């Protein structure tokens, strides 16, 4: 068996989401709104669902209106379970 250090990379099982920053007023924390569309079982129409999660932003680089990608992380505080992976698009 070859080790991972020999060049093989293993796919991480962490979830990632893309969302919009709705608050950046806390230090090293952003609030990200994740919007998903789901097909309703009975009415066969798409329903828009959204949830807000707190994500850790170590360098305070994401700002209000930015589109960001967040990744699942170990608990940083009581409510922070996500971490900023990258800024997909800056706000205009």
For residue 56, the domain's CATH number is 2.40.50.140
What does DSSP say about strands 46-56 and 29-39: parallel, antiparallel, or unpaired? antiparallel
Q: Is residue 15 part of a domain?
A: yes
> Does residue 2 sit within a domain?
no
Q: Give me the tens of pLDDT residue by residue for the chain, a chain 92 residues long.
A: 444 455 555 667 899 999 999 999 999 999 999 999 999 999 999 999 999 999 999 999 999 999 999 999 999 999 999 999 999 999 98
CA neighbor of 76 nearest in space, from 35, 37, 40, 28: 28
Domain around 44: 10-89
* Residue at 42 is within a domain: yes
pTM of the model: 0.82
Please count the structural domains in the chain.
Answer: 1
């Amino acid at each position: 068996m070859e080790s991972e250090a020999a060049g093989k990379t293993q796919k991480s099982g962490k979830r990632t989401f893309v969302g919009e920053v709705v608050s950046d007023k806390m230090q090293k924390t952003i609030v990200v709104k994740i919007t998903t569309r789901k097909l309703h079982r009975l009415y066969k129409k798409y329903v828009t669902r959204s949830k807000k999660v707190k994500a850790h932003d170590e360098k305070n680089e994401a700002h209000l209106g930015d589109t960001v990608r967040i990744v699942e992380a170990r608990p940083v505080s009581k409510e922070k379970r996500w971490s900023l992976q990258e800024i997909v698009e800056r706000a205009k």
